[in-house]
């Protein structure tokens, strides 16, 4: 049995505060723009956790989508959700639906596609996708259409998330060998490697004010982003300096796969697991 504890880290106090502990596998907290709730997934379903409530998970109606993975999020204006689900296509496909729940609208025609970032203006989705055996970063208009490939097939490219000004897309890539944190312009230009510390680094998330970047670090030699590992959550400046460990935990896959900052940037949510 897996025990999942949803935690909130407070930057000012350094405290990690549990908001839910359950014997179910729960993953990937998103913080709502109004600051009142988290959206998470578990066992193929999508849930909302009210932070001022009784600590209960309430399922969000996602129509036919019953195989949601941990790549989901909330639009900047809070009106819509984006999910990655394999019910219809047999492989992960990106859909949007009303934030309160409702029938999913298919965005990506090609599969597999795994959502990770929403542009600040709400018009564009960034995601990783496997095409011809290679994982690259793509963007697509919120209403669908032709996908735009931003990376060139070098290494494994994953976890794209926008900077709050929309000028940069942060992501992780093994193009230099070990998985490290990178960023590029929103059109795919000006690639810059931002970490080179010997760890295997995944899932960068810029803070709402753009002053920090949160990411997850595995020990050297860990391949992919598996669950049930000793990992670290680290913060660094957007120029790549000042990297420091904020939380050490047992986790990995499911801990911070998607954007997880509070709207005011003073806290972030994550999930830790028990051995």
**CB-based burial label for 52 (10 Å; 0-12, 13-18, 19+):** exposed
Answer whether 0.95 is exceeded by the pTM. Answer: yes
Task: For residues 191-212, give the mean pLDDT.
Answer: 97
Tell me how many helices (H) and strands (E) the chain has.
0, 23
Residue 1 — very low, low, confident or very high, per pLDDT cuts 50/70/90? low
User: What is the CATH class of 4-273?
Assistant: mainly beta
Is a pLDDT exceeding 80 seen at residue 183? yes
pLDDT at 60: 98
Which tens digits make up the pLDDT trace of 49-108?
999 988 899 999 999 999 999 999 999 999 999 999 999 999 999 999 999 999 999 999
Considering only residues 13 and 54, tell me which one the structure prediction assigns the higher pLDDT. 13
What is the per-residue pLDDT across 130-147, written as a single tens digit (0 to 9) for each?
999 999 999 999 999 999
- Collapsing DSSP states into helix, strand and coil, what is residue 6? strand
In the chain, where the domains are located: 4-273
The tokens describing 245, both together, are 């460990």
Task: For 138-175, write each residue's pLDDT tens digit.
Answer: 999 999 999 999 999 899 999 999 999 999 999 999 99
Torsion 104-28-67-131 (CA) sign: positive
User: Mean of the per-residue pLDDT values for the chain?
Assistant: 97
With a pLDDT cut of 70, the percent of the chain lying above it is 100
* Pairing state between β 168-173 and 180-185: antiparallel
Give the pLDDT confidence score for residue 2 in this predicted structure: 84
């Amino acid at each position: 049995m897996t025990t999942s504890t949803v935690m909130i880290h407070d930057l000012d106090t350094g405290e990690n505060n549990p908001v839910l502990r359950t014997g179910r596998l729960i993953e990937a907290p998103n913080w709502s723009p109004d600051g009142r709730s988290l959206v998470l997934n578990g066992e193929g379903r999508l849930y909302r956790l009210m932070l001022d409530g009784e600590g209960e998970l309430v399922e969000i109606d996602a129509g036919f989508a019953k195989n949601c993975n941990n790549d989901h999020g909330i639009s900047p204006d809070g009106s819509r959700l984006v999910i990655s689900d394999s019910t219809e296509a047999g492989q992960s496909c990106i859909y949007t639906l009303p934030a309160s729940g409702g029938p999913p609208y298919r965005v990506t025609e090609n599969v597999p596609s795994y959502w990770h970032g929403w542009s600040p203006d709400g018009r564009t989705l960034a995601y990783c996708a496997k095409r011809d055996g290679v994982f690259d970063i793509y963007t697509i208009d919120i209403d669908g259409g032709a996908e735009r490939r931003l990376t060139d097939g070098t290494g494994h490219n994953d976890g794209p998330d926008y900077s709050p000004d929309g000028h940069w897309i942060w992501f992780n890539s093994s193009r230099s060998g070990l998985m490290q944190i990178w960023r590029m312009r929103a059109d795919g230009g000006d690639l810059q490697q931002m970490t080179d510390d010997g760890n295997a680094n995944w899932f960068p998330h810029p803070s709402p004010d753009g002053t920090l970047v949160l990411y997850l670090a595995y020990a050297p030699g860990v391949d992919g982003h598996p669950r049930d590992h000793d990992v670290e959550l680290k913060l660094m400046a957007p120029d790549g300096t000042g990297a420091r460990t904020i939380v050490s935990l047992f986790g990995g896959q499911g801990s911070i796969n998607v954007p997880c900052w509070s709207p005011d940037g003073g806290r972030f949510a994550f999930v830790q697991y028990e051995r």
